[in-house]
Amino acid sequence: MEQEVQENRLLNDIEGLSQSNAVPTTIIQPSRGLLSLKLGELWQYRELLYFLTWRDVKIRYKQAVLGFLWAFIQPFLKMVVFSVVFGGLAKIDSEGFPYPIFLYAGLLPWQFFADAVNRSGQSIVAEANLITKVYFPRLIMPVASVGAALVDFAISFGILIAMMFYYQIIPGVSILMVLPLVSLTILCVLGVGVFVSALNTAYRDFRYALPFLVQIWMYVTPVIYPVTIIPENWRWLMALNPMSGIVDGYRSAILGKPFDWPHLGISLGITTIMFLTGLAYFRKTERYFADIV
């Protein structure tokens, strides 16, 4: 095993050198035991990652009459509908903030999560033709899907800014926390998305379960309701869902309510575990993708 890892490292070194004048050497052999995460290889293929992300973004709105406007319309309509149903009719508590902005601050990361997980989950299966015809690090596929979803995520921030003006919410220093929170969200999305893409390839009927699972996930995440609605002694259970800490964190950053640091800390820990697990599962299954896809 030791030797295997070393060899992999050596291989990475050799591939790294190919950028200069050394002869690039490819060694093909069955991989056993613990794999290196081969992130160096991913870096080498960064241009392809960029092209595939660009393609996903381009194709998404290519045939739509309203084109990129959809990236605004979708989250906006969702916000309006949810505000009417949950804020207006059900009168769900919003911790003293106007319900629409309270909702949108949570909907923002959630929409990105749901969208990116759905898209990256399908990515390997949808590109079966490519997977069986040419080699590139398979990880690029789900990562590119997340990248494309990130573009929509960025656009939906525009609505947030408009809403903050409308509700005259002046951001405090806490708004700076949005940046680390976005990184944490991306890490979480990558972990889940990469895991699901591999699972979906190995077990094809998983795709029927996926939208349903994402839906349930939303209801166990404090998107339409505040964390405070959950009884104190059950909060620990909620913290196991990393998205709950993340969503709550966005609210604190945007609306200026105090951060729940322990909750956020647990989210960070679980997100890291999920990311590493997802990546490891992907690495373990990817060598059979071309055979089973």
Partner 1 sequence: MSNIAIRVENLGKRYRMGQYVGSGAQYKTLRESLTNAVSAPLRRLRRNSQSEIRHPKSSSFLWALKDISFEVRHGEVLGIIGRNGAGKSTLLKILTRITEPSEGRAVLSGRVNSLLEVGTGFHPELTGRENVRLSGAILGMTGKEIDRKFDEIVDFSGVEEYIDTPVKRYSSGMRVRLGFAVAAHLEPEILLIDEVLAVGDAEFQKKCLGKMGDVASEGRTVLLVSHNMASIVNICQRAILLDNGNMVTDGQAAEVVQHYLATARSAGGEVVWPDPAQAPGNDIVRLHAVRILQDGIDGSTAGVDISKEVLIQIEYWNLQEGAHLYPAIWLDDQMGTPVLSSSNATSVSLTEDPWYGHAHPLGLFQSLCRIPGNFLNEGRYTVAAILGKLPSETFVLEREIISFDVHDTGEMRKEYYGGWRGVVRPRLAWNTKRIGSVVRGIKDEN
Interface residue with partner 1 among 58, 180, 240, 262 (CB under 8 A) is: 58
Instruction: Count the alpha carbons within 13 Å of 37 in the hemisphere toward its beta carbon.
Output: 11
Stretch that binds partner 1, among 93-101, 110-118, 253-261, 285-293 (CB under 8 A): 285-293
206 vs 197: CA distance, rounded Å: 10
Rg, the chain, Cα only: 21
Tell me the backbone φ, ψ of residue 115, rounded to 5 degrees: -60, -50
Provide, rounded to whole angstroms, the least separation between the CB of residue 13 and partner 1. Answer: 15
Q: Which of 43, 203, 219, 236 binds partner 1 (CB under 8 A)?
A: 203
Per CB under 8 A, the segment of 70-78, 95-103, 202-210, 216-224 that binds partner 1 is 202-210
Angstrom CA distances, 10 to 5, 17, 38, 44, 100, stand at: 9, 11, 12, 16, 55
**Rounded CA separation 34/23 (Å):** 27
In this structure, what DSSP letter does residue 54 have? H
Residue type, 264: L
Distance CA 44, CA 39 (A): 9
Report the C-alpha dihedral over residues 180, 182, 187, 190, rounded to 10 degrees. -170
Cβ proximity to partner 1, 206 vs 217, nearer residue: 206
291 part of the interface to partner 1, by CB under 8 A: yes
| Sign of the dihedral defined by the CA atoms of residues 216, 223, 181, 249, in that order | negative
206 binds partner 1 (CB under 8 A): yes
Residue 89 DSSP one-character state: I
Per-residue string for binding with partner 1, 18-57, x by CB under 8 A?
Answer: x----xxxxxxxxxx--------------xx--xx--x--
Binding mask of the shown chain, residues 88 to 127, with x at each position contacting partner 1 by CB under 8 A? ----------------------------------------
Question: What does each C-alpha distance from 206 to 31, 197, 227, 229 come to in angstroms?
Answer: 27, 10, 30, 32
Which residue of 3, 21, 62, 258 would you call a contact of partner 1, by CB under 8 A? 62
Among positions 125-184, residues that touch partner 1 (CB under 8 A) are 130-136
> Does residue 223 interact with partner 1 by CB under 8 A?
no
205 is a site residue for partner 1 (CB under 8 A): yes
Q: How big is the site for partner 1, counted in residues (CB under 8 A)?
A: 42
Residue whose CB is less far from partner 1, 59 or 273: 59
List of residues contacting partner 1 (CB under 8 A):
18, 23-32, 47-48, 51-52, 55, 58-59, 62-63, 130-136, 201-206, 209, 284-285, 287-288, 290-293
